[in-house]
Amino acid sequence: MQQNFSGVGVSPGRIIGSIRQMPKPVSEPPAGERLAASLSADAAAELLRASAKTVQVELQNRAAGATGASKAVLEATALMATDPMLIKAAIKLIKTGLSAERSIWESGASVAEMLINLGGYMAERATDVLDVRARIVAELRGVPAPGIPLADAPFILVAEDLAPADTATLDPEKILALVTSGGGPQSHTAIIARALGLPAVVAAPGVDALEDGIEVYVDGAAGLLSLEPGAEEIAAVEAWKTAAAILAVFDGNGRTADGHLVPLLANVGGAKDAVKAAEAGAQGVGLLRTEFCFLERETEPTIEEQVIAYRGVFDAFPGQKVVVRTLDAGADKPLPFLTDTSEPNPSLGVRGYRTDLTTPGVLARQLTAIAQAAEGSSTSVWVMAPMIATPEEAAEFAAMCATAGLKIPGVMVEVPSAALLADRILGEVDFVSLGTNDLTQYTMAADRQLGTLAALNSPWQPAVLKLIGLTVEGSIAEGNNKPVGVCGEAAADPVLAVVLVGLGVATLSMTSRSLSAVGAVLKSVTLDDAKKLAVLAVSAPNPTEARKRVRAGLPILEELGL
């Protein structure tokens, strides 16, 4: 039997624990599958009703333990499980001789199709119907329900890959580490693992065939899962605990070894996040994702609601800086009141700042709300627009900010055109912030969600690093020393963070979990070291080589187990 499984380490940490496999997705019952000869149609219908009821009770129990928006969704989903429309259509099919599994499968499909045709909010609920359908089929078959397994003791979760819906229901108290056979460094598994601080390995073929309950060792930095852990692995886990204790604290002062200041800021989605970030030592907020305050909303939040949401974040950082990004709807983050979900190519469509073209007014009202929330607060409030492509757009946004009484307007650099014209864009606004995830996807023309293109979709791509360097050069050319920050995933990678600083980036904003690791590594190099490492990275032939070269110049990574 294979002892070691290697993959890509995406979130550091070493741990020993027993594994639980994510149940396989429920397979489609074969078309035309007949009722078993021993079963009458009436008996099959009864079984279906009973299974639907069991699924409903299970979902109701989960709803009872949930809060807020996810509670409401679970309650509605529970009702769907025994819904007459779904069940009656299935029973009609059973009476024609089809198996109960196939009948509920088809009935669920036609209900989902109906919802999709209704569009908008209804279309989104189609996923819930399909989830309920899968649960009922699993119940009829007597196999575990799809979704994260429930267990009393914390475990290492192993899966083919995790979907956003799975990661949303993941309880970090119950999970020790994540290991997937598929996925890539930008997959949802990787992002959620980093956000929760869980060790994680992705793209480790074969792990999804391991038996439930066996004990394994996982190293989320080296990208390794090994069976039958012994003395060596136990020692490695202990060494990690010591390193983690060092990494647990950020002193709240981002700087290089020679005292060059690089404020380390946090990316937050609301007041709760902001309080946590402040506790973790963040020197401000480099990215307030305002759409996260309103993701479950079907209608535009009122100005009063917005003021409360923003004020909560400002209050967590008195006297410090908070960069508010205006609503970034579209592509992977649709907002019903702004997004047209029927676009053939949403990543290149009306998203971010562009929604002001199709739904004028929302942005102006948001700016008014931000200005009201900033009133009387000691926080330095900066505002930036996402998806800016031209200097004209930057100028328009700056004018809107001025009208609202907001003093420090900026824009995000995510579209390569904005990086190329950074000097002219900075002639219109006071700062820019690089969104490296989108900048990478647009520079490399590679969809962020596609595992197959993971190698193209790396911020280590020399072309991406070059565009970051060009943005800094644009700021120098503009002549007023206007700051260039980074607020993408790249800033959270302690190795890449050094390169960014070497390229001349002024501030780094990241998930607050990464502050201490980035701070510790940055403190180990001088600004000159960082500049040399940046040159090595930009001149490397490919992302793997770039990363390898920079790692070789950062001995502290080994010491800290990163």
Partner 1 sequence: MSERTATIASRVGLHARPASIFAAAVGELPIEVTIAMEGEPAEDAMDASSILSLMSLGAANGDVVVLRAEGDGADEALEALVKILETDLDAE
Q: Name the minimum Å distance from CB 33 to partner 1.
A: 24
Q: 485: closest CA among 494, 475, 477?
A: 475
Q: Is 76 in the site for partner 1 (CB under 8 A)?
A: yes
* Identified binder of partner 1 from the candidate list 85, 246, 348, 463, rule CB under 8 A: 85
Single-letter amino acid code for the residue at 122: M
- C-alpha closest to that of 207 among 192, 217, 198: 217
Of 110 and 358, CB closest to partner 1: 110
> Which CB, 121 or 403, lies closer to partner 1?
121
- Beta strand 4-6 with 224-227 is antiparallel
Torsion sign over Cα 153, 155, 160, 165: positive
Instruction: Name the residue nearer to partner 1 (CB basis): 121 or 228.
Output: 121
Q: Which residue has the tokens 């050069």?
A: 473
Q: What contacts 185, CB < 8 A, 6 or more positions away?
A: 8, 10, 202, 454, 458
d(C-alpha 199, C-alpha 63), whole Å? 28
Of 28, 33, 83, 315, the one binding partner 1 (CB under 8 A) is: 83
Comparing CB distances to partner 1, the nearer of 81 and 329 is 81
The 3-state DSSP class for residue 217 equals strand
Residue closer to partner 1, measured from CB, 70 or 377: 70
In Å, how far are 39, 40, 155, 494 from 203, measured between CA atoms? 44, 46, 19, 21
In our burial notation (b when 16+ CB lie closer than 10 A, e otherwise), range 230-254 reads eeebeebbeebeebbeebeebeeeb
Asked whether 423 and 475 are in contact (CB, 8 A), the reply is yes
Exposed e or buried b for every residue in 129-162, given b needs 16+ CB within 10 A? bbbbbbbbbbbbeeebbbbbeeeeebbbbbbebb
The window from 83-91, 163-171, 239-247, 313-321 that contacts partner 1 (CB under 8 A) reads 83-91
Query: Can you tell me which of 36, 118, 150, 552 binds partner 1, judged by CB under 8 A?
Result: 118
CB of 271 to partner 1, least distance (A): 22
> Contact 155/179 with Cβ under 8 angstroms?
no
Return the number of the residue (299 or 345) whose C-beta is nearest partner 1: 299
Tokens of residue 420, six digits? 């190329």
- Compute the least distance from the CB of residue 541 to partner 1, in Å: 53
Amino acid at residue number 75:
E
Q: State the nearest-atom distance from the C-beta of 428 to partner 1, in Å.
A: 39
- Write down the residue that tokens 């047209």 correspond to: 340
CB-wise, 72 or 399, nearer to partner 1? 72
Quote the Cα angle for 323-324-326, to 5°: 145
CA atoms within 13 A on the CB side of 7: 31
Tell me: does residue 40 bind partner 1 (CB under 8 A): no
Considering only residues 36, 50, 57, 114, which one is a binding residue for partner 1 as defined by CB under 8 A? Answer: 114
Give me the least distance between CB of 114 and partner 1, in Å please: 6
Q: With 0-12 CB in 10 A as exposed, 13-18 as middle and 19+ as buried, what is 33? A: middle
Smallest gap from Cβ 88 to partner 1, in A, equals 8
Using CB under 8 A as the binding rule, whether residue 62 contacts partner 1 is answered as: no
Choice from 79, 150, 234, 477 touching partner 1 (CB under 8 A):
79
Among 299, 342, 345, 481, binds partner 1 (CB under 8 A): 299
Pick from 14, 20, 102, 125 the residue near partner 1 by CB under 8 A. 125
Looking at the Cβ atoms of 118 and 246, the one nearer to partner 1 is 118
Name which of 51 and 514 has its Cβ closer to partner 1: 51
- Choose the stretch contacting partner 1; rule: CB under 8 A; options: 113-121, 201-209, 438-446, 460-468: 113-121
Exactly one of 32, 84, 142, 541 binds partner 1 (CB under 8 A); which one? 84
To partner 1, the closest distance from the beta carbon of 424 in angstroms equals 44
Q: Does 122 bind partner 1 (CB under 8 A)?
A: yes
DSSP annotation string for 369-418? HHHHHHTT--SEEEEEESS--SHHHHHHHHHHHHHHT--EEEEEE-SHHH
**Residue from 4, 64, 121, 528 in contact with partner 1 (CB under 8 A):** 121
CB of 297 to partner 1, least distance (A): 10
Helix (H) or strand (E) run with residue 286 in it: strand 284-289
Strand order in the sheet with 200-202: 4-6, 224-227, 215-219, 14-21, 155-159, 175-180, 200-202, 8-11
Q: Is residue 80 part of the contact set for partner 1 (CB under 8 A)?
A: yes
Residue 50 interacting with partner 1 (CB under 8 A): no
| 111 lies in the site for partner 1, by CB under 8 A | yes
Q: Which is nearer to partner 1, 56 or 516 (CB)?
A: 56
Interface residue with partner 1 among 215, 298, 304, 528 (CB under 8 A) is 298
CA distance 161 to 174: 18
Q: Which is nearer to partner 1, 212 or 298 (CB)?
A: 298
Structure-block tokens of residue 167: 């990661």
Decide if 425 contacts 474 (C-beta within 8 A): yes
**Span of 20-28, 117-125, 222-230, 337-345 interacting with partner 1 by CB under 8 A:** 117-125
- The least distance separating partner 1 from the CB of residue 78, rounded to whole angstroms, comes to 9
Q: Which residue has the tokens 């009141």?
A: 337
Smallest distance from partner 1 to CB 85, Å: 4
How near is the Cβ of 80 to partner 1 at its closest, in Å?
Answer: 6
- Determine which residue in the list 26, 35, 52, 86 makes contact with partner 1, applying CB under 8 A: 86
- Tell me, yes or no, if 401 is annotated catalytic: no
260 is catalytic: no
Number of residues that make up the chain? 562
Contacts with partner 1, residue ranges (CB under 8 A): 72, 75-76, 79-80, 83-86, 111, 114-115, 118, 121-122, 125, 129, 298-299
- Residues catalogued as catalytic: 188, 487
